[in-house]
Copies of this chain bind each other. A is one copy, B any other.
Amino acid sequence: MDKSICPRFEKAMTILSQRWTGLIIYQLLSGPQRFCTIESGIGISGRVLSERLKDLENEGIVNRIVYPETPVRIEYSLSEKGKALEPIMKEIENWSQSWLER
């Protein structure tokens, strides 16, 4: 009866429309970053950031690398799959510049 939405598109939307996910990806587009940098960069709580990074890692969008320095350094970065989200971010940027007031 109703033409249904493509499940892959729906899944992409489910990922991207989680609160903070977009901003985390946007933040990581400027390069690998550690937990506390992302946290203070976008104003997310540690509890939720931890949860989101795990989700994004499970989706294969984010990589997590541990450097056993002192104190330990853990770097989060975008995988190829994650970097491929850049055009979406660029379009959101374009739209916001054209249609939102300062």
A contact set with B: CB distance below 8 Å: 2, 4-13, 16-23, 26-27, 37, 40-42, 81, 84-85, 87-88, 91-102
- Out of B9, B26, B97, B99, name the residue touching A81 (CB < 8 Å): B99
Q: Is the CB of B42 within 8 A of A5?
A: yes
Q: Is the CB of B95 within 8 A of A2?
A: no
Known contacts A19-B17, A42-B5; is-contact A88 B99 (Cβ 8 Å): no
- CA of A87 to CA of B93, assembled, Å: 11
Q: Is the CB of B5 within 8 A of A41?
A: yes
Known contacts A17-B18, A21-B17, A102-B7; is-contact A12 B88 (Cβ 8 Å): no
- Out of B13, B41, B93, name the residue touching A26 (CB < 8 Å): B13
